[in-house]
């Protein structure tokens, strides 16, 4: 059994892995949904696009569900506080996601252009809205969230939904949306051919440019835009029982860069985010679509890793009561809970990865117009 401090670090890494897995796997079918109205102009073309992700999208939702479950079990204070502060934002995500199962299942039930067009736009909403909101949420985490605790560790959120839509939060939403669109574009280019693929390549290159520009702009904003980060100034016992009110936190202009100063190798993460996106754009443009998907996935690792490395050990900083900020050390479950969850993860995560890999291998190959016509009743 690992000691308590080690388990806290392990679960910080595992939550990061789940977020990256969600962005890569569920992200590429959300990206396909975002591109659907723009790269497919006829009904048969839209059916081709939908069938590239139709057999897999619900399996990819496992990453989203597991990530939420992991945060609930490993970081209960973070889960409770986040859902209080981001309540309407999370509801908007759920409302958008509702369009996906019904869109996939009902779109082809009726052969009527209006009916199908409505569900096509529903799939677009289900693919476009969640990444934007997740990005906005990350942008607000970097600025600090207006919450505090009372003496009984009951959290109180003092902000509003509209305050989340601040300029930096919206910029983070643009980066997130472009990143997911890039991920979906490389996958869609790999699974299609002809006119659809050509349109997808153009859209993918554009998404890569927007992502890189937004990502770099966000970094410059953090550096020179006057945005303060958070820094612990008191002594912290990483093995202590959770209590977020026992530390001292101050805000400073360079706080989010301290980890990069201490460990220069961390600069490889933002470099990976930029280089991965540009490589994905270049590779998809020359027809190396599988390599482009790998490069795009590495860009996802770089972008999410950049934010995680900058914030560590903070998970959810408080802008109104900095000492109440939630960190890796003081927002976790008990030693026993983390240990039992780690055992379950070691058993089941490899099974999920193996099954997912097998499913993609079995259903690999191009989705063509001939396939849709030959499998009209089985295809979406």
Rounded to an integer, what distance in angstroms lies between the CA atom of residue 373 and that of residue 43?
12
pLDDT over 70, % of the chain: 99
Contact (CB, 8 A) for 252 and 222:
no
Query: Residue 170: pLDDT band by 50, 70, 90 thresholds?
Result: very high
Q: How many CB atoms lie within 10 A of CB 57?
A: 25
Phi and psi angles of residue 327, each rounded to the nearest 5 degrees, phi first: -125, 175
Rounded to an integer, what distance in angstroms lies between the CA atom of residue 289 and that of residue 33?
18
Query: Strand, helix or coil at 147?
Result: strand
Residue 378: pLDDT over 70 = no
Q: What is the pLDDT of residue 143?
A: 94
What are 356-364's contacts with CB under 8 Å, separation 24+?
356/25, 356/59, 356/60, 359/55, 359/56, 359/59, 360/56, 363/55, 363/56
Q: Tell me what the pLDDT averaged over the chain comes to.
A: 92
Residue 31: pLDDT over 80 = yes
DSSP conformational letter for 264: G
Q: What is the pLDDT of residue 45?
A: 92
Residue 379: pLDDT over 70 = no
pLDDT tens across 102-136, in order? 998 888 888 888 999 999 999 999 999 999 999 99
Phi and psi angles of residue 211, each rounded to the nearest 5 degrees, phi first: -60, -50
Q: Which residues partner with 327 through β-bridges?
A: 314
Contact (CB, 8 A) for 328 and 8:
yes
Residue 154: pLDDT over 90 = no
Rounded to an integer, what distance in angstroms lies between the CA atom of residue 257 and that of residue 253?
9
Rounded to an integer, what distance in angstroms lies between the CA atom of residue 71 and that of residue 57?
22
pLDDT tens across 48-72, in order? 999 999 888 888 888 888 888 899 9
What are 277-281's contacts with CB under 8 Å, separation 24+?
277/179, 277/182, 277/208, 277/211, 277/212, 277/215, 278/208, 278/212, 280/182, 280/186, 280/204, 280/208, 281/182, 281/204, 281/205, 281/208, 281/209
Per-residue pLDDT, averaged over 209-215, amounts to 97
pTM: 0.93
pLDDT tens across 182-199, in order? 999 999 999 999 999 999
Angle at 67 between CA 55 and CA 329, to 5 degrees: 165
């Amino acid at each position: 059994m690992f000691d308590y401090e080690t388990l806290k670090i392990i679960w910080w890494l595992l939550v990061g892995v789940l977020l990256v897995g969600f962005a890569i796997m569920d992200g590429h079918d959300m990206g396909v949904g975002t591109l659907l109205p723009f790269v497919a102009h006829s009904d048969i073309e839209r059916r081709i696009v939908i069938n590239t992700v139709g057999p897999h999208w619900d399996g990819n939702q496992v990453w989203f569900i597991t990530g939420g479950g992991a945060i609930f079990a490993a970081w209960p204070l973070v889960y409770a506080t986040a859902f209080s502060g981001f309540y309407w934002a999370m509801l908007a995500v759920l409302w958008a996601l509702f369009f996906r199962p019904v869109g996939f299942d009902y779109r082809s039930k009726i052969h009527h252009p209006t009916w199908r067009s409505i569900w096509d736009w529903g799939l677009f909403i289900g693919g476009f809205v969640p990444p934007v909101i997740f990005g906005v949420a990350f942008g607000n985490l970097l600025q600090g969230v207006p919450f505090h605790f009372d003496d009984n560790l009951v959290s109180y959120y003092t902000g509003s939904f509209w305050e989340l839509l601040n300029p930096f939060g919206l910029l983070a939403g643009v980066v997130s949306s472009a990143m997911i669109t890039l991920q979906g574009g490389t996958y869609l280019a790999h699974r299609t051919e002809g006119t659809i693929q050509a349109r997808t390549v153009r859209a993918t290159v554009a998404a890569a440019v927007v992502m890189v520009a937004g990502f770099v702009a966000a970094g410059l904003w953090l550096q020179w835009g006057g945005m303060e980060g958070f820094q612990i100034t008191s002594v912290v016992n990483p093995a202590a029982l959770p209590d977020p009110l026992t530390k001292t936190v101050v805000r400073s202009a360079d706080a989010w860069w301290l980890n990069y100063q201490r460990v220069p190798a961390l600069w490889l993460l933002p470099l990976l985010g930029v280089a991965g996106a540009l490589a994905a754009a270049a590779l998809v443009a020359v027809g190396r679509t599988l390599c482009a998907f790998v490069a795009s996935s590495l860009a996802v690792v770089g972008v999410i890793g950049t934010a995680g490395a900058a914030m560590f050990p903070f998970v959810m900083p408080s802008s109104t009561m900095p000492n109440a900020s939630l960190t890796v050390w003081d927002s976790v479950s008990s030693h026993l809970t983390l240990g039992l969850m780690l055992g379950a993860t070691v058993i089941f995560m490899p099974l999920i990865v193996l099954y997912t890999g097998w499913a993609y291998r079995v259903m690999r190959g191009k989705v063509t117009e001939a396939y849709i016509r030959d499998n009209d009743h089985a295809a979406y």
